[in-house]
Amino acid sequence: MLFKPETENTANAAPARAPSFVSRALRRIVSLAVTLVILGGLGYIGWNAFQQKQQAGNRAGARPDLPVPVLAATPRIQDVPVYLDGVGSVRALNNVVVRAQVDGKLLSVNFVEGQDVRKGDVLAEIDPVIYQAQYDQAVAKKAQDEAQLANQRLDLARYQQLAASNAGSKQQADTQRAVVAQQEALVKADQAAIDNAQATLGYTRIVAPISGRAGLRQIDQGNIIHTSDASGLVIITQLQPIVVQFSLPQQQIVRVNAAAAKGALTVDVFGNDGTTVIDSGMLKGIDNQVDPTTGTLKLKAEFPNADFQLWPGQFVNVRLKVEILPKAIVVPTSAVQRGPAGTFSYVIGEGDLVTAKPVVVTQQNENDAVVASGLTTADRVVTTGFANLSDGAKVIVGTEDSAPTADLAPRKRSRAPQDKDGQAKDGQGKDGQGNRGKREGDQKGQSGPATRGETSGGAAKSQP
């Protein structure tokens, strides 16, 4: 009787634990279902992203089963000039500081700043009053001495007659002869003084010593000008012809000397764009030593400068023509590629299959490359379309007219997110003619029809 209540309580507690087991099972099932739904959603999102990436890759033209579109060129034979490039500065052929040779007041200035003057033109005039007086004084002194000389010559004639008749002393005649000689020398000194005064008087007119262009005036009219003035009156610069002094590396000394020994060398000067030749001249001088601080050799070339495109102090790019390669094989520079083993070119063979051939390039510029070995005029080399090209790939050769050009800026691409069926979400484009048609029309109007060369960012690749 004491344990009976415990039995009854145990029998009553068993049915109460049954609902707790069912609820735990239901919660587990719900949690498992939610987990499966989440994993399924993530898997669908990843699969959809992979499909979109693959479709984008296919649209970009990365299909191995299609031939690669390229442009090709045939090597040509021509005479190629060899140039040595350098940097130099323009200098005047002659540069003169016009200074006064006498002191005085500047009466007039007869030139305009920046004017072209010729040799002998009167640039300015100094007050000549003092120097004119000195000249007149010298002339008068000579006249006085000539009058005395005439009188002394008469006395000499008389003394010689008296001495001949023994009526006079021979010594007196000899003395008078010496006086006449002294007076003649004095007259010659007077003439020299006249010439000096005349030259000094001529210096009051400042003339141009060379033909050239006058610079800025250094002293104004009415001022006192001195021979010791460092700035002088004006600077005259000879612009036609003009010279360019440039430098070349010391490694080119032997090549330049050998070319100069064969004849005159041509030098070209480029404009500001670096490609247009604005003037051509001849090499005039080679320095006799290398600059030890820079390891370069200085050279000087003279140019006619007919259009005044070269100006003193201007920095220019020059090229020196040292030789001509006769009958060289030339290909476009874009046809020469560089790899780990050196330079090579893709040669199109039978069946439009490309083969990578090593080539030896002697020189090249922005447009052409000279090939010493590896190519012949019967080959066709690829010049454009290397992005998807490999050795042994099949190609399709296009023409220059059909070659696509790269966009100046990436194209704007606006695509609405799509659901599984390819329809735009949020009700966009369901009518087939509404927002989708408007959006496609706007896109075509902005960037034109899309091509195979479009990248994921919207910029077109430069394909042949």
Query: What digits encode the pLDDT tens for the residues 5-21?
Result: 454 444 454 444 445 77
Whether a cis peptide bond, with omega within 30° of 0, leads into 241 is yes
pLDDT at 300: 96
The span from the CA of 305 to the CA of 243, in Å, is: 9
Distance CA 172, CA 156 (A): 9
Residue 373: enclosing H or E segment and its boundaries?
strand 368-373
Question: Could you tell me which residue, 11 or 397, shows the higher pLDDT?
Answer: 397
Q: Which two tokens stand for residue 9?
A: 């309580």
pTM of the model: 0.59
Which structure tokens are listed for 196?
């000096």
Percent of the chain with pLDDT over 70: 79
Q: Within a 13 Å sphere around the CA of 453, how many CA atoms are in the beta-carbon half?
A: 18
Most confident of 87-101, 374-388, 425-439: 87-101
User: Does residue 213 sit in helix, strand or coil?
Assistant: strand
pLDDT, position 369: 93
pLDDT at 275: 86
Reading the block at residue 74, the tokens are 């045939």
Strand order in the sheet with 95-98: 95-98, 234-237, 212-214, 116-117
**CB 316: neighbour CB atoms within 10 A?**
22
pLDDT band per the 50, 70, 90 thresholds, residue 435: very low
Strand spans (E) along 154-276: 205-207, 212-214, 224-225, 234-237, 242-249, 266-270
Beta bridge partners of 325: 80
Per-residue pLDDT band at 366 (split at 50, 70, 90): confident
- pLDDT tens string 334-363: 999 998 889 999 999 988 899 999 999 998
Strands 337-339 and 315-332: unpaired
Contacts of 458 by beta carbon, 8 Å cutoff, 6+ apart: 410, 411, 412, 413, 447
DSSP classification of residue 454: B
Quote the CA–CA distance of 167 and 421 in Å, as a whole number: 156
Supply the Cα-derived Rg of the chain in whole angstroms: 50
Helix ranges (H only) for 387-454 are: 435-447
pLDDT tens across 126-141, in order?
999 999 999 999 999 9
| Portion of the chain with pLDDT greater than 90, in percent | 59
Task: Identify whether the C-beta of residue 86 lies closer than 8 Å to the C-beta of residue 314.
Answer: no
Query: Which range, 355-364, 407-416, 429-438, has the best average confidence (pLDDT)?
Result: 355-364
Show the tokens assigned to 435.
């927002």
- Nearest residue to 339 (alpha-carbon basis) of 359, 362, 368, 365: 359
**What pLDDT, on the 0 to 100 scale, is given for residue 410?**
54
C-alpha–C-alpha distance, residues 57 and 34, integer Å: 35
Residues in the chain: 464
Residue 293 has pLDDT above 90, yes or no: yes
Determine how β-strand 116-117 pairs with β-strand 234-237.
Answer: unpaired
- Predicted pLDDT at 27: 83
Question: Would the pLDDT of 177 be above 60?
Answer: yes
Which of 36, 58, 40, 38 shows the shortest CA–CA distance to 48?
Answer: 40
Arithmetic mean of pLDDT, 37-61: 74
pLDDT of amino acid 169: 83
pLDDT digits (tens, 9 = 90+) for 215-273: 999 999 999 999 999 999 999 999 999 999 999 999 999 999 999 999 999 999 999 88
Quick one: average pLDDT of 414-425? Answer: 46
One-letter amino acid at 314 equals Q
pLDDT digits (tens, 9 = 90+) for 93-122: 999 999 999 999 999 999 999 999 999 999
* Greatest distance between any 2 Cα atoms in the chain: 211
Average pLDDT, integer, range 271-286: 92
Structure tokens at 458: 């919207």
